[in-house]
Amino acid sequence: MPRHRQKQEKKHRESEIPVGSFSDIAFLLIIYFMVATTLVKVKSITADLPTGQKQPQAQLDKTPTVNLRGSEVYFNDNKLTLDELNKRLDALDLSDKPGDKRVVMLESSDETPYELYFKTLAAISANGGVVALVEEEAKK
């Protein structure tokens, strides 16, 4: 076989990548993602818990304090319900006050359930308060 003919034949061969099924694969992947994806709508409250040192006692006395004892709520040592707490916090107009005046102390006993804690946090945050957690003194 002459050499120049061999060369000609080689030129005629065209290699093609089969891409016909690419779109099918792609759409299958899309359907997979669309079926497997769940758009999670998370609902939450933003609780701003500043970190810092203990304030002097005089200043602590002026700061509104919410105390959770078991399933009971106390605001400045007065027992009340969550609705009443909401009204009392609303009356304080915390959102209009500067940063350090918006602090609400949150104290709780060991047996306080998270449900009540969360509702109290939500009430304080909704009324513009900044929550400061009160730590128990280390037992001597």
Backbone angles phi, psi at 67, to 5 degrees: -120, 125
| Residue 55 DSSP one-character state | P
Q: Of the listed pieces 4-12, 15-23, 54-62, 89-97, which binds other proteins according to CB under 8 A?
A: 15-23
Interatomic CA distance for residues 4 and 49, integer angstroms: 84
Tell me, by CB under 8 A, how many residues bind other proteins: 42
Element spanning 76, H or E: none
Q: Does 138 bind other proteins (CB under 8 A)?
A: no
Beta strands at 72-75 and 78-80: parallel, antiparallel or unpaired: antiparallel
Q: Does 49 bind other proteins (CB under 8 A)?
A: yes
Applying CB under 8 A, the residues found at the interface with other proteins are: 19, 22-23, 26-27, 29-30, 33-34, 37-38, 40-51, 68, 108-115, 117-119, 121-123, 125-126, 133, 135
